[in-house]
Chains A and B, each alone.
Chain A
Amino acid sequence: MGKGDSLLSVSKLKVRFNHHIILDDISFEVKRDDTLAIIGPNGAGKTVLFRAILGLIPYEGSVEWASGIKIGYVPQKLSVAKDIPLTVKEFLKFKERDMTKITKVLEEVGFVEKNSQDEHGGAHLLKTKLGVLSGGELQRVLIAFAILGNPNVLLFDEPTSGVDLSGEETVYSLIAKLQKEKDLTIIFISHELEVVYKYAASVLCLNKRKICFGPPKEVVDKESLEALYGEEVHFYKHHDHSHGH
């Protein structure tokens, strides 16, 4: 695991659905232990890019992962109805049968400490239905699910979506903490620039094509932001979330 090794190399990636080109000519590289943010407006193809590099949808061009890499994927949301009787324990057991490992991972994503005011703590969470978790809790459970496979790289689709502002901070600091503890490479999708500046070592600006790629402080400038967001640019610069509170 020498430093500077390439973990993921994407070259001339193109994705189309029914003759519509969703992504075109995307090339970038991710090094080991890197934290890459993928930013872009709604409909820019961020999630599509994720699904392509995960091999979930057909694409042209090449996506090459380093050999022996295990990928943990944290999707934006699940498709379970609220009333479905699937508990957190049962969900995590889809991935790992060993309960001691599950308990350990739940601690790592901050469940036991955070719930200490709750007398049942982690044990209570395990019996809770997935559909009734809050946005922040669900996100932690999804992160736990991803970590259970002992991945080398974690892919996050919009870690903050569905989480209130106080929770937002902790999800990103949790990602940063996990990265240090577990020697993980992180790739995350975001549309919030301040998060990108704070946590990402490199950034890929995406709007159907690659607009910029490199360290955020070097490549994110007025030009690339305008190319990315057009007229919306000032909203993002002033931390004025375009989606309501």
Chain B
Amino acid sequence: MGINLLFLIFTGALVGAASGYLGSFMVLKRMSLVGDALSHVALPGMAIAITFGINPMLGALLALTLAVIGIWYMGEKSEIYPEALVGVFFTASLAIGILITPEPELFEALFGNLEKIGFSDGLITIAAATLIFLVTAQISRQLLLGVVSEDLAKSAGIKISKVNLVYLLLVGLVVALGVKFVGTLLTGALVIVPAASAKNMAKSLIGFHFWASFIGVFSAVVGILIAKFLEIPSGPSVVLVSIAIFILSYIFKNRS
């Protein structure tokens, strides 16, 4: 039991770190709500995977990858980002997902279930989180220069659209991980809240990335422990811990 809890905390911390880190780029790119919108798409993917007896995380990942490619394509090809259309598409997939997800699994898919995380899920999480950190660190310079000035980045020979696609695929991956932990409805929070708090505290980019990852880890660890002791669901517990940190960071920022 003790080892099991440690394992849960460890994988939870990894998801927290990876989503916090990616989230810090999301905030810089002014795409904070994309993680939230994307998470809706995971549900029909999971439903279809459950129907065919495949690992739901895999189904979520597949649906997210398709959605990411769609978002990327529209961002590249159209002059104005079709925000309303994207909103319609994502809520539609949530509604369809709720309809086609088998009843017993629906609650779990919407709200996550940490207890159901098996050893193989843990291994997938470790591999995915490592991949996210390595690849993001690799593209971070290009990605950030693109945020600062697209013209500067392009004139320095950076293939912005390729970098953006890689980045969005990573976001899809981190959302797929988060869905298993805190569920479809709260995954967006894992990406946004730690990064938003870190932005209140950081004085440099390095600090920003560090704090976002750290707050992600801290919220996951403390949230899981609180959930365990109070016997409440872990998803909302993790998210509420991160929101408490956000409020503290906001007060701290305004005082200093």
- A interface, CB within 8 angstroms of B: 18, 51, 54-56, 71, 73, 75, 78-81, 83-87, 89-91, 94-95, 127, 129-130, 145, 149
Contact = CB atoms under 8 A, between A and B. Distances in A.
Given A94-B144, A95-B156, A85 B151 contact: no
Contact of B148 (A54, A79, A127): A79
Contacts of B205: 85-87, 90
Nearest to B207: A85
B155 A56 contact: yes
B199 interface: yes
13 contacts: A75-B152, A78-B148, A78-B152, A79-B149, A80-B147, A84-B28, A84-B199, A85-B199, A85-B203, A85-B205, A86-B148, A86-B204, A94-B144
B116 interface: no
B206 interface: yes
Interface size class of B (residues with CB under 8 A): 20 to 34
A18 B80 CA distance: 13
A130 B148 CA distance: 10
Contacts of B150: 79
Consensus secondary structure, chain B interface: helix
B202 interface: yes
Contact of B199 (A83, A95, A130): A83
B154 A56 contact: yes
Nearest first, the 8 A-B pairs at minimum CB distance are A85-B202, A73-B155, A90-B205, A85-B208, A87-B204, A94-B145, A78-B149, A54-B155
Contacts of B162: none
Contacts of A90: 204-206
A55 B156 CA distance: 11
A96 to B, nearest CB: 11
A184 B105 CA distance: 67
Consensus secondary structure, chain A interface: loop
Nearest to B204: A87
A240 to B, nearest CB: 31
Contact of B141 (A85, A87, A94): A94
A49 B151 CA distance: 13
Contacts of A85: 199, 202-205, 207-208
Interface string B2-40: 000000000000000000000000001010000000000
Contacts of B28: 84
Interface string B139-178: 0010011011111101110000000000000000000000
A56 B151 contact: yes
Nearest to A72: B155
Given A79-B148, A80-B148, A94-B141, A129 B155 contact: no
Given A85-B199, A94-B141, A94-B145, A127 B151 contact: no
A88 to B, nearest CB: 10
Contacts of A75: 149, 151-152
A11 B28 CA distance: 39
Contacts of B208: 85
A73 B148 CA distance: 14
Contacts of B147: 79-80
B10 to A, nearest CB: 29
B63 to A, nearest CB: 32
Nearest to A130: B148
Nearest to A149: B156
Contact of B155 (A71, A81, A84): A71
A52 to B, nearest CB: 12
A55 B141 CA distance: 21
Nearest to A94: B145
Contacts of A87: 203-205
Contacts of A83: 199
Contacts of B152: 73, 75, 78, 145
Contacts of B207: 85
A130 B28 CA distance: 13
A51 B151 CA distance: 8
Contacts of B151: 51, 54, 56, 73, 75
B76 to A, nearest CB: 14
Nearest to A93: B141
Contacts of A56: 151, 154-155
Contacts of A84: 28, 199
